Structures are given as structure tokens and as C-alpha cells.
Amino acid sequence: MADVSANDRILAAIRSIPRGQVAGYGHVAQRAGLPGRARLVARILSQNDDPRLPWHRVLRSDGRIAMPEGSRGYREQCQRLRAEGVVVENGRVRGLAAVKTLDEAIWGPS
């Protein structure tokens, strides 16, 4: 059990996302040491139970909300992002490119 569960690593990666910032599933997965497991991240979030987990900061590679429009989580995510200063337009997030550029500035070039 010496290894930390991938689940916890993913949660930690999401937790390390600064407020007002957003990240992609693939990005989070890679940061958690699980390249290509973006689907796993999605599953974790769908099963997660932690209300203080900034899951709303996790978006798709297209910078879009990762759920059906009109869904309850969809509205919640959109509202929370706006509350943090993130610009959301038509289910899409603006400034995603800036995030990609700052991704190394946030987590470090390693």
C-alpha cells in the first residue's frame, strides 16, 4: 500500500489548482502521474464526495464544461467559475490558452 492511490493523487492535483484558474482532464491526469487517464479523472469526479474539491475547475480539452448542457452540475460549475473570476461564455471558458501558457508557472517546469 506504499503507493498512494491514483485516486488521491488526482484529487491532490485538482486541489492544487489555484483559484480563478482552470485545468483540463488530461492535464490533471498527467500531473497526477497518470498520462492518458483523463477518463479516470472524469470517473473520479463523478464519484467524488468532497464538496471542498474544486472539481468545477476541471474542464475538457476544448475548454468546455464536461457535461450535458442543462444538467444540474453544469449550472453549478458555470456559476462557481464565474464566482472565481473565470469568464464562461456559451458553455465555453475564455482564457484557456492563458492557462496552458501558465501551466508551467503554476505547477512548475519540473
Partner DNA sequence: CAGGTGACTCTAC
Partner DNA sequence: GGTAGAGCCACCT
Work out which of 13, 17, 22, 58 binds DNA, going by CB under 7 A.
Answer: 58
Residues 24-43: x where in contact with DNA by CB under 7 A, - otherwise, as a string: xxx---------xxxxxxxx
Work out which of 15, 16, 18, 60 binds DNA, going by CB under 7 A.
Answer: 60
Work out which of 50, 62, 69, 104 binds DNA, going by CB under 7 A.
Answer: 62
Query: What is the SS3 assignment for 65?
Result: coil
Q: How far is CA 63 from the centre of its chain?
A: 10
Residues 81-110: x where in contact with DNA by CB under 7 A, - otherwise, as a string: ------------------------------
Q: Long-range contacts of range 104-110, CB-CB < 8 Å, 24 or more positions apart?
A: 106/17, 106/18, 106/21, 107/16, 107/31
What does the chain come to in residues?
110
